Amino acid sequence: MIKKVGIVGFGQMGSGIGQVAAGNGYEIVAVEVTDDAFRTGLKYITKSLDKAIEKGKADNDYKQKVLGNITGTTDLHALADCDLVCEAVIENMVVKKQLFTNIDKICKPEAIFASNTSSLSIGDMAAVTDRPTQFLGLHFFNPVPIMKLCEVVKTLDTSEQTFDVAFQFAESLGKACVTAKDSPGFIVNVLLVPYLLDAIRMYERGLATKEDIDNGMMLGCGHPMGPLTLTDFIGLDTILYIADIMFEEFKDSHYAASPLLRRMVNAGYNGKKAGKGFYDYTKK
């Protein structure tokens, strides 16, 4: 039975997961590297809750409940009595393995560990712990409070019991869950990333303007955002990172990043968070 949830990494994704879990009555312990980083995560939550209130999707009582259920710390030992710990730290295998090695010694033996990675091997992370059967992926989508999906990812070792408990946990957050295998990109990114890469290639070849590519998919296919706007929203660096991992794994040109994407990332055009990507976000 999950009551207390640890979230390690309280950025855009971690704070989103913390927000929906706190809103559904779970006690959240958020661990960040600095107090400032935790406060930034809390700001994302406050902004999202204020928008939800403005849209009539939540009220002030709900906001207070969410904020009241979250405590922040820089000390991993605060995770000792968590029933589930979900990490959403930087997409770097060395950092993730070090984290799981550390918390494996701190957390109670029955605790379940989850990673919100979008493309790294969950099995490789589980292998550094003494609890590979209690380890799985919970891949949420950005923005977590709005996107309905959670991919629940089973490794070769994840036990049925762990899978069922984690699946029910994600459902209790109001998410619709799909079951995915521990393979790069799981279900959604295997389909989404080549589509975004193709849109970038189309723009790079000068086949259409960025606005027309985006409008084409929004107005012709009913997508809420066009592919270049969505790439800006997710982050060009994130898309490049996922594409490179999938290309490395599958050796399939579907996942090959175009020279333009790599050049833009190298020049700091990382999308909305950087103020510039395919579009300019500095003057709103």
Q: Any catalytic annotation for residue 24?
A: no
- 33: contact with ligand 3HC by CB under 6 A: no
| 90, 95, 147, 219: residue in contact with ligand 3HC (rule CB under 6 A) | 147
The answer to whether 27 is a known catalytic residue is no
Clarify whether 118 is annotated catalytic.
Answer: yes
Which C-beta is closer to ligand 3HC: that of 55 or that of 283? 55
Cβ distance to ligand 3HC smaller for residue 115 or 129: 115
Helices (H), 78-209: 93-106, 122-126, 160-172, 188-204
Q: Which candidate in 48, 69, 116, 118 is catalytic?
A: 118
Map residues 110-139 to x or -, x wherever contact with ligand 3HC holds by CB under 6 A.
Answer: --------x---------------------
Six-digit token string for 80: 């000792």
Q: What is the token pair recorded at 67?
A: 């904020």
Binding of residue 225 to ligand 3HC (CB under 6 A): yes
Say whether residue 146 binds ligand 3HC (CB under 6 A): yes
To the query of whether residue 77 is one of the catalytic residues in this protein, the response is no
CB 27 within 8 A of CB 21: no
Q: Which stretch binds ligand 3HC (CB under 6 A): 36-44, 71-79, 81-89, 145-153?
A: 145-153
Range list of H helices, the chain: 12-23, 35-54, 60-68, 93-106, 122-126, 160-172, 188-204, 210-221, 227-234, 236-250, 259-266
Of the pair 31, 52, the CB lying nearest ligand 3HC is at 52
Other C-beta atoms closer than 10 Å to the C-beta of 271 total 25
CA separation for the pair 213, 98 (Å, rounded): 42
Catalytic residues: 118, 139, 151, 189
